[in-house]
A and B are shown apart, each in its own frame.
Chain A
């Protein structure tokens, strides 16, 4: 009975507020955690940047790129047990929360949401990609993922110059932006030590500028290109937290699609798949909150539904419900 009541309450929850506070809390942990000696490890499956000297937990890509760049004899020997165990920790973190890491925990993601909030405050319309650009641009994140995974391996094999070490980090806006929150602006510079370094660091600065402009006009602009998101997608079928859809209940009204920051078309138009998590998804649950059909969309942990689309919840969030009810 009690559990039922709580469940009903959750279904009517204002997901925006809930999300805002979680994001703020985790932002503080990840960006300022170091001040109070919080350290949740270096295998975090989101962009909580390791260049922030006070980080309370570090983006897995930093150590991953470092570890994969070992000479091959070492990489493929017993000495690499550490590499495997780090990977295991990453997977564990990820498998529990799935892409909800992006919607709720990633500092870089949260920053984009704050920029969106600023735009909204100014009453400026957002823009969207056309279907065609969407389809071609979404591939970019897989190219970045190749840079993260392949470049270090090539360095280890001696096929690529070590100047390319940590190449993605040098290009990543997280490296420039996150440290600013603890007053460190030193990343905003071009490294003139070599041609490669000039290229990578210039790219980083340019990408960061694009990050700011882009996320001002397009919701979650950067996430669309994020290699971490691509990496997540490989493992998300095994995750415990799931985004599910019941196509029979769906009217294809498109309400979910229109609130989706990532313009995921399938969320409304695919009425066949049960697992509706797509590679671009940030698991923000805005779609579930915006769906007016009972049980059409739902979030499961293992087998148990924790949040579902309900008519009542929809009506409450839209302000359709009378105060008396």
Chain B
């Protein structure tokens, strides 16, 4: 195991009583490394272009290196905060949604016992002032999406941060909500520019829209390969790639993702597959797997499944909908950016879940899915509540679904993996019967 490099003096002090921050960082590094090792070494035929991403996570979480310099850092607490606007001011958005058990524990004090691991972990991280890849935050934006996120704003403020409250509608079909959200984004654009002292103009916004668009396209290109009969890339790698988007430099990220595309495409030509011939094709949906909480994708693929598609805000939803502009002027571009984030979103916080159902159906058909794994963080009301209707829809479609409630604790492991193995086995049996019958 790699140790944190620390100066002589600090180590000596550690022996007496370890500085809580250093201790926290040590735990975090251990957690990160454990997951990275598992993802990297427990699967055969790794893609060499994935090395960049493995090393990136190691750099950020184990070696604590900083990625960006001299640019203002804007912390975001949801995918609803428009990247395009932040990039247009030459600032860097860093998504703070956190996946560490270490942080979940230290954030536990703020929240009731049965509440969302992600929200707890994010609070824990903010409490430790331990932002991945970044020295300090210049700005913090928090949307009013689900209840737990919304209420946690006041806790983040209690810790001592200035938080920008971004108002988000929870009905998305009406004209009012469209207009309301556009207004929110127009205001955010003005406020951010004023607070950071950075200008935004036609040209910078256009190039930011295109930068994000290119990143999205790279992801879409990768996803196309997952539709194929022999899938050249595993879902655990995809989640790692999309998680890197949270903090990586966007242009480098795009370049590296395209490198993965090329290698995976070459594999398709060779005819090598990342999964077995009979591996059940899985659609993952529900609460977002965020590094290092990738245990579910890990277990699924260790049990010989292959995640070919997902519907979650740490992957698919980040990249799915794209900005379309009619007139390349500020007045139209800002609204266009706003629309991208609201209208196509399949987040469970909205009143209706028809769009999510339609998205799942579409994914099942075009990615030729055998089974669905639905994860809900214990205490996430909205995902727990939607489970029922999704279950019914899957029954109607004849697609088996496994529903699991999880949190970030490693203790759950054994029981969870048994359930997943059994589910994969049942899918295989079903497939075999279908082939024979």
Contact = CB atoms under 8 A, between A and B. Distances in A.
Interface of A: 120, 123, 125-126, 130-131, 247-249, 251-256, 258-259, 268-269, 271, 286, 290-292, 311, 314-315, 318-322
Contact of B175 (A131, A256, A322): A131
B358 A248 contact: yes
Contacts of B336: 258
Interface stretch (B13-21, B57-65, B86-94, B319-327): B319-327
A255 B339 contact: yes
A312 to B, nearest CB: 9
11 contacts: A123-B329, A126-B327, A251-B320, A253-B343, A258-B336, A271-B358, A311-B220, A314-B322, A315-B213, A318-B210, A318-B322
Given A125-B331, A318-B210, A252 B343 contact: yes
Interface residues of B, number: 34
A77 B320 CA distance: 62
Given A251-B344, A315-B217, A292 B326 contact: no
Contacts of B325: 318
A291 B214 CA distance: 16
A232 to B, nearest CB: 24
A320 B321 contact: no
A259 B324 contact: yes
A112 B172 CA distance: 32
Contacts of A247: 358
Contacts of A268: 343
B217 to A, nearest CB: 5
B217 A320 contact: yes
Nearest to A290: B324
B210 A319 contact: yes
A256 B339 CA distance: 11
Contact of A252 (B216, B329, B344): B344
Given A314-B324, A318-B322, A258 B335 contact: yes
Contact of B324 (A269, A318, A322): A318
B170 interface: no
A320 B327 contact: no
Nearest to B213: A320
B8 to A, nearest CB: 50
Contacts of A120: 327, 329
A311 B358 CA distance: 19
Contacts of B220: 311
B393 to A, nearest CB: 14
Contacts of A315: 213, 217
Contact of B214 (A249, A256, A286, A322): A322
A311 B335 CA distance: 21
A125 to B, nearest CB: 4
Interface in B154-183: 173, 175, 178
A292 B214 contact: no
B340 to A, nearest CB: 7
A249 B325 CA distance: 21
Interface in B315-368: 320-327, 329, 331-332, 335-336, 339-340, 343-344, 355, 358-359, 361-362, 365
Interface string B176-214: 001000000000000000000000000000100110011
B316 to A, nearest CB: 11
Given A249-B362, A252-B355, A258 B175 contact: no
A248 B324 contact: no
Contacts of A319: 206, 210, 213
A215 to B, nearest CB: 15
Interface string B129-169: 00000000000000000000000000000000000000000
For the complex of A and B, the 5 pairs showing the least CB-CB separation, nearest first, are: A253-B344, A320-B213, A255-B324, A254-B343, A125-B331
Nearest to A249: B362
A130 B174 CA distance: 12
B312 to A, nearest CB: 15
Contact of B339 (A248, A254, A286, A311): A254
Contacts of A311: 217, 220
A247 B331 CA distance: 30
Given A255-B321, A258-B326, A318-B325, 14 more contacts: A120-B329, A251-B355, A254-B178, A254-B344, A255-B323, A255-B339, A255-B340, A258-B335, A259-B324, A292-B321, A311-B217, A314-B322, A319-B210, A319-B213
Contacts of B329: 120, 123, 125
Contacts of B327: 120, 126
A120 B328 CA distance: 9
B396 to A, nearest CB: 15
A318 B326 contact: no
A248 B362 CA distance: 7
A126 B173 CA distance: 23
Contacts of A318: 209-210, 213, 322-325
B52 to A, nearest CB: 19
Which of B173, B209, B217, B331 counts the most chain A CB atoms within 10 A?
A: B217
B228 to A, nearest CB: 16
Contacts of B361: 248
A259 B326 CA distance: 5
Nearest to B212: A320
Interface in B48-62: none
A251 B335 contact: no
Contacts of B320: 251
Nearest to A312: B217
A318 to B, nearest CB: 6
